[in-house]
Amino acid sequence: MDEAFGRRDLISAARLKALSVKSDWRGFLRLGSYVGAVALSGTTLAASWGTLWALPAFAVHGTLLNFLYAGQHELSHWTVFRTKGLNEFFGRLFGFVLLYPRDFDQVQHFAHHRFTQDWVRDGELARPRYTLGSYLLWMLGPSYWYTRARRLVRFSLGRIDEPYLPASRRPGLIREARWHLTGYALIAALSAAAMSPLALEVWLLPMLAMKPVHQLQNTIEHLGLPHVDAITQNTRSTRTNALMRWLGWNMQFHTAHHAFPGVPCYHLPALHHELFSARDSAPPTMSYLAFQWAVLRAFSAGRTEADYPDGATWIGDDAGGASPAASVGPSAQA
């Protein structure tokens, strides 16, 4: 993945070089703490299934499973480990668990970084503009999981129509989808043969049900910010606590990450300090709950994402549910 997206005027070359150093030791510490927590929560859930203790275990385990994507994201940037093969191995493993193949995620995410907030070329904006209903379906998980499953099947059948996916990568993406579906079919067959619900109980059900917690991070990063080519305007960081930053692999420092994607997650707090705090400035920043409340207000009274101008911030601490520009419609903004 090409990492040449940063603003070199924001930090000295020497300091950026120091913060970009990757470490296998730091990588194993970061990944090991997370995978260990997933193993502990999964074991607890399996042991408590059928009792009241299973309810908190289910919630914790499902949340941890979903935030594995924060790890997959970092592994796709090749930044967790110094050894490149370790990033690929664990990235593919996480992608399998999440029904989200690594190669597809990497290509889509490259387009997102290269063309952030560009409606035509940003791989993560390949969707209709939100209404209140479509936003809630995405936030709560149903349309998220439908999209993921449908894409896997579609790719496995050789049908790829996403414009941001280069023709040269499509054969590999098709093979990847087929390998994923083969693996899932094997797990289903073994579960049926053993008459075991374990895969459902400690994998699929908690992961599907707890998606809304992870969507707090997924939805806050860019929605309601200007569709302009300026990282310090089009990307939002998150005010939150240390536990959420651990869950999110420090992706709450999202503006710093977009400025310099080659900096490992364990150095993002220091990078954020260099870019913003040390300069007495801050990127667009909100808390999770304030953001969700602002989105609901913005989509109230039948308003949609298309009712807001592309060049303005319409969700922010000081936006107050910004008034839509009635003269700016979908055709004018595209």
Which of 25, 47, 45, 26 shows the shortest CA–CA distance to 37?
Answer: 45
Q: What is the pLDDT of residue 317?
A: 81
Q: Is residue 272 domain-resident?
A: yes
Is pLDDT above 80 for 1? Answer: no
d(CA 248, CA 70) in angstroms, rounded, equals: 5
193: pLDDT strictly greater than 60: yes
Q: Six-digit token pair at 230?
A: 């300026």
Q: Is 118 inside a domain boundary?
A: yes
Q: For 124-163, what is each residue's pLDDT tens digit?
A: 999 999 999 999 999 999 999 999 999 999 999 999 999 9
pLDDT grade for 308, boundaries at 50, 70 and 90:
very high
pLDDT on residue 17 = 96
Does 2 map to a domain? no
pLDDT digit string, tens, across residues 76-133: 999 999 999 999 999 999 999 999 999 999 999 999 999 999 999 999 999 999 999 9
pLDDT tens, 2-60? 444 456 678 999 999 999 999 999 999 999 999 999 999 999 999 999 999 999 999 99
Token pair recorded at residue 150: 């449908």
Phi, psi of 203 (to 5 degrees): -135, -75
Average of per-residue pLDDT across 264-271? 98
Does 110 map to a domain? yes
Indicate the number of domains in the chain: 1
Evaluate whether residue 310 is within a structural domain.
yes
Q: Is residue 177 part of a domain?
A: yes
Cα separation, 246 vs 249, in Å, equals 5
Structural domain contains residue 1: no
> Is the model's pLDDT at 329 over the cut of 50?
no
Answer yes or no: is pLDDT of 307 > 90.
yes
The predicted pLDDT at position 10 comes to 82
pTM higher than 0.95:
no
Q: What is the 3-state secondary structure (H, E, C) of 66-106?
A: HCHHHHHHHHHCCCCCCCHHHHHHHHHHHHHHCCCCHHHHH
Which residue's structure tokens are 């364990």? 266
Please tell me whether residue 133 adopts helix, strand or coil conformation.
helix
Residue 306 included in any domain:
yes
Its domain, for residue 70, covers 8-333
Tens of pLDDT, residues 207-263: 999 999 999 999 999 999 999 999 999 999 999 999 999 999 999 999 999 999 999
